[in-house]
Chain A
Amino acid sequence: MNTLLSVQGLSIGLATRGAKASIVDDASFEVGQGEVFGIVGESGCGKSVTAYAVAGLLASPPLSVESGSIMMGGVDLLSLPPSRMRSVRGKDIGMIFQEPMTALDPLYTIGEQIAESLEFHAKVGKREGIERAVAMLGKVGIPEPRRIAAEYPHRLSGGMLQRVVIAIAMINEPRLLIADEPTTALDVTIQAQILDLMNGLVRSNGMSMIMITHDLGVVAETCDRVAVFYGGHLVETAPVDRIFSDPLHPYTEGLRKSVASIGDRDGKLYAIPGSVPKAGSFGPGCRFQGRCARRMERCGREAPPVSIRPDGRSVRCWLYGEEA
């Protein structure tokens, strides 16, 4: 598979008063052409921030990329001047957000907001823009697209609005779609519809997608490969079936065990003990050591390196360190 996006050694810092906290530390991963790549982890683990860095949408300040590279189609996105990055954003990289209810400007119609996405990247007349917006609304499964295009966001439900946000992200047929927890704010019944829609559009257009989520169910349903983040470290990347059948990192294993299954009627739901330390408060050694069931003496002293396994998976843990 051809690589579309290659992130190498990405570190992102958060400037707080006087000090600089590390939000993401030395993360490397690749997304192939046509691949759906999941990024999972708890709140505040750096998964969203990583994706925003790819799109050049970090809130800077206080967030900033400290080091690393983000290569897409042979170009390092981090080296692009803002004006060039603007022509990539929305054109080559589309984004879908978590909260559809607040993701649209309340003062413009749905059609205008979709057409705007075209307007920034091509010479499109107002009427043609609206026509193409209406067609796109049809593709994302909105009934009566012409009527909806003339509506304002407050007249639509969350599920409908998320379809509109998807239409905005997809209308320029980007090569990469970044979805930041696209179903978290939706009703469970709508979640599956939206996931199906995104999956269908991405697969049929041969796009790549980064799916950010904390829901392993979403991962299992949509992703080809997964990266697991913990406390700003990318602790493991693996094909999706291996994450569930054969997790390497103790944290991944804990996550997998925390998923409730319908058959499991007796017994308590497993939870990883403890909670995630605050960003910037990590001591030396492995960031997961405080909550790890398989902690060794070495984990407290040195941070484990990333080791690449023979099957191409990567893991950041001393259990596998010797093989690196």
Chain B
Amino acid sequence: MRTYILRRLALFIPVLFGISLAVFILLHMIPGDAVDLMMGIEGNPELRQQLLKQYGMDYPWYAQYWNWISGVLRGDFGVSMRTGLPVLPEIVSRFKVTLMLTVYSSVISWIIAIPLGVVAAVKRNTWVDGGARVFALIWVSVPNFALGTMLLLVLSLVFQYYPPLEYTPFFASPLGNLGSLIWPSLVLGAIMAGSVMRMTRSALLENLQQDYIRTVRAKGATERVVIGRHALKNSLLPIVTIIGMQVGSLLGGTVVTEQIFSLPGLGLYTLTGINQRDYPVVQGSILFFAFIFVIINLIVDVIYSWIDPRISYR
């Protein structure tokens, strides 16, 4: 197992290298660069040359790539062309927000989705099941900007409550952190819960049809044991798969939700960077996002082998 994890970690290097190259090339293929955007419609060629030189953009693209990637390897992701602030500390500080948001919304979604999926499967084709499925369908269909905006409207108009506009870090005040993240987490959690609930229901139904469940019943097991110990555990693989995908994409930042709840997360940072062609910002955040995604993939694979003895890695 340990050698497997080490080998997977070694494989990260070519993957991340490929991604860094792809991002770099794609970004530079987009017409209009940062300097064009800064200069606006006034075309002063001298000033333009000066700015290009200042940002190191007067070199051919491969030289630019080398300048960037050799910095990254030394832990220097460069500085934002717009703000002049170093990119890596900014990504890390914003990732903390995104990470907490992901943790809260995942926990919320599991608390709702897994029990609901189990109840729906056990009481299949009854009004309970029907209700749960409609509930799930609503949450997967409603876009998060609509849900977020509506939540804010209801909170402020009906309950006279205004969510804090200032973000409180977890280590400054855990409760304040929860307070600033609970509403966006509810929105994201509800949306995630829809697909997790449906996966739980269908995987559980499939497993309840299996022969081994009949054996467990023949031993005189209660339904609690049949479902909790056997059917649900066997249903965990597809559930973990979908949760892994959700967590991975949440960690990359959620632009719309961050915007609505004015959270300083990764999504907005990346989006602003793209709009302004702020190359170091975009390249840095996408590389970071790719890194998070491969890590999540590895974690999911390790969890697989931990749940299912038939899956073993060497």
The answer to whether B220 and A154 touch across the interface, beta carbons within 8 angstroms, is no
Contact of B220 among A104, A105, A121, A165 (CB under 8 A): A121
What is the total of A-B residue contacts with beta carbons within 8 Å?
72
Q: Please name all residues of chain B whose beta carbon is closer than 8 Å to the beta carbon of A117 when the two chains form the complex.
A: 219-220
Minimum CB distance partner of A92 in chain B: B220
Minimal beta-carbon separation of A175 from chain B (angstroms): 14
- How many residues on B have C-beta within 8 angstroms of the other chain's C-beta atoms? 20
Interface residues of B in 200-214 (CB under 8 A from A): 210-212, 214
- How many residues on A have C-beta within 8 angstroms of the other chain's C-beta atoms? 29
Q: Please name all residues of chain A whose beta carbon is closer than 8 Å to the beta carbon of B307 when the two chains form the complex.
A: 107
Is A214 an interface position by the 8 A CB rule? no
**A198 vs B309: C-alpha distance when bound (angstroms):** 30
Contact of B211 among A88, A97, A116, A121 (CB under 8 A): A97
The answer to whether A106 and B308 touch across the interface, beta carbons within 8 angstroms, is yes
A interface footprint on B201-244 (CB within 8 Å = 1, 0 otherwise): 00000000011101111111110010000100110000000000
Interface of A is mostly: loop
Is B2 an interface position by the 8 A CB rule? no
Is B310 an interface position by the 8 A CB rule? yes
The answer to whether A102 and B211 touch across the interface, beta carbons within 8 angstroms, is yes
Is A38 an interface position by the 8 A CB rule? no
Interface of B is mostly: helix
Minimum CB distance partner of B209 in chain A: A59
Q: Please name all residues of chain A whose beta carbon is closer than 8 Å to the beta carbon of B211 when the two chains form the complex.
A: 97, 99, 102-103
Minimal beta-carbon separation of B314 from chain A (angstroms): 15
The answer to whether A97 and B214 touch across the interface, beta carbons within 8 angstroms, is yes
B interface footprint on A77-98 (CB within 8 Å = 1, 0 otherwise): 0000000001111110011010
The answer to whether A105 and B219 touch across the interface, beta carbons within 8 angstroms, is no
Q: Please name all residues of chain B whose beta carbon is closer than 8 Å to the beta carbon of A57 when the two chains form the complex.
A: 214, 217-218
Q: Which among B212, B225, B234 has the greatest number of chain A C-beta atoms within 10 A?
A: B212
The answer to whether B220 and A87 touch across the interface, beta carbons within 8 angstroms, is yes
Minimal beta-carbon separation of A69 from chain B (angstroms): 21
Interface residues of B in 223-273 (CB under 8 A from A): 225, 230, 233-234
The answer to whether A152 and B212 touch across the interface, beta carbons within 8 angstroms, is no
Q: Please name all residues of chain A whose beta carbon is closer than 8 Å to the beta carbon of B212 when the two chains form the complex.
A: 102-106
The answer to whether B233 and A107 touch across the interface, beta carbons within 8 angstroms, is yes
**Which of B's residues lie within 8 Å of A, judged by CB?**
210-212, 214-222, 225, 230, 233-234, 307-310
7 contacting pairs across A/B (C-beta < 8 A) = A86-B220, A90-B219, A104-B212, A106-B310, A107-B234, A120-B220, A121-B220
| Closest 10 A/B residue pairs (Cβ) | A90-B220, A102-B211, A95-B218, A90-B219, A152-B309, A117-B219, A120-B220, A89-B220, A105-B212, A86-B220
